[in-house]
Amino acid sequence: MDTRSIVEQDTTHTWNERHRQLTKTIAQVLEDYSIVKFVPLNCDEEESVEQLLLVIDTTIQYGEDLEVRDRYPEEEDPEEREN
């Protein structure tokens, strides 16, 4: 779905009729500068939800400033303990 189809979806409301040109202009700016990205979502498919969460995390840069944690801490060498 793109911004043009959203603008043209509902033309029956008075607000939409009065502000049609403004809505079209805003939609054009959003499209020209790639400000909006539409991602399909199927709530019944876990993969679809995971893909959307990945897009959200990437967009807001979630976790960019977190320290990397080692999943497997270094094991101590038994010989080093004796010394």
Considering the domain architecture, whether residues 8 and 22 belong to the same structural domain is answered as yes
Report in angstroms the alpha-carbon separations of 64 from 10, 52, 58, 59, 61.
40, 18, 9, 11, 6
Residues of the domain holding 6: 1-32
Report d(CA 34, CA 36) in Å as an integer. 6
Q: Determine, yes or no, domain membership for 83.
A: no
Considering the domain architecture, whether residues 2 and 20 belong to the same structural domain is answered as yes
Are the C-beta atoms of 43 and 51 separated by less than 8 Å?
Answer: no
pLDDT more than 90, % of the chain: 14
Report d(CA 83, CA 26) in Å as an integer. 71
pTM: 0.43
Neighbours of 46 (CB within 10 A): 9
Q: Determine, yes or no, domain membership for 73.
A: no
pLDDT in tens, 31-59: 888 777 778 889 999 999 999 999 998 88
Provide the domain count of the chain.
2
